[in-house]
Amino acid sequence: MLKLEADTQSPAAELPSLRPAKPISRDGVVQAILNLFKAPDYLEIGVNQGKTFNALRARTKVAVDPKFLFDHQEVAARVSGTTFHETTSDDYFGRIAGAKTAFDVIYLDGMHTSEQTIRDLINAISFLKPGGVIAIDDVFPCSYMASLPDRGDTRIISKATTGVPSPWMGDVFRLVFFVETFCQQFNYATVNNNHGQLVLWREPRRDVPQRTLSQVAAKEYKDLFLEAPSFRAASLDVILTKIRQAQKA
C-alpha cells in the first residue's frame, strides 16, 4: 500500500477552524484517503501549480486544468502513470473520459463557484469506482469576503476595507447543503483540522432535509455558523474510520 507521512492533527472541533493551529495540508488529506486503497487511481480537477498533485503517490494520476502553471510535460516524462489534460473539467468529463474510465479517489479543486463545483461533482460520481471517495476543496471560507462567488468582488471589497488581498474560496460552501439534501446515496463529513475539505463516500443516509434548490442557492456565509451541523465536521482520523467501515459493509 502506498504511504505518505501523515500531518500532525489538531483536536476535533465543532466546525472547520478558520485558523487551525496545526492544519493538515491539502495533500496530507488526499494522500491519507489514497492510502485506503492498495493501488489507487486518482483524478484531480483544478491543479494550478501542481503543489497537491505532484506531492501525491498513486498507481495512476490524472490532472485536469485549463492552464498548468508548471512544467507538466517534464513531470509526465519523469513520473510513470501520470497523465495531464490541459482543458476544462467540462471538456474532460464530456469528451476525454471514456466508458471504462474510473477512479478510486477524485479531488475537486476547480473553479470555486457552487454551480461549477456541483457540475464537477455530478460528473465525478459517474467516474467513481465502487468504494471510491470524492474530496472537495474550500467548502468553509475563512471570511465573508472569501465566500463571494465573484472573485472580482472579493478583490474590490478587500482592497477597500483592509487594503490586504483576501483569499478567494467562492460560494462552494453551498455544495455542502446540496450534498446533504440531494445526494442521499453518499455520506460525508468536513475535515475540521484544516481549512475545510468535504469528503464523500458511498453510504446511503436514511434521512435528508427538505430543502428546495432555490433554498440551497440562497445560502449565505452566515449559514456556515447558523447551520453548522450540516457540515458534519470531524477530524480526518474519524472520517477515515467511517470510510473504512462503509467499504466493509
Q: Supply the pTM of this predicted model.
A: 0.89
Question: 121-158 pLDDT, tens per residue?
Answer: 999 999 999 999 999 999 998 788 788 877 778 888 88
pLDDT single digits (tens) 14-59:
555 555 667 789 999 999 999 999 999 999 999 999 999 999 999 9
Q: Which grid cell is 8?
A: 500532525
* Residues whose CB is less than 8 angstroms from the CB of residue 81 and which lie 6 or more positions away in sequence, other chains included: 58, 59, 60, 61
Distances (CA, A) of 32 to 5, 36, 56, 151, 182: 9, 7, 10, 31, 27
If we measure between CA atoms, which residue out of 177, 173, 174, 168 comes closest to residue 150?
168
Q: Which three cell numbers stand for residue 72?
A: 507538466
Per-residue pLDDT, 15: 57
CB 193 within 8 A of CB 238: no
Task: Spell out the domains of the chain, with CATH numbers in brackets.
Answer: 26-248 (3.40.50.150)
With residue 188 as reference, give the H or E element that holds it: strand 186-191
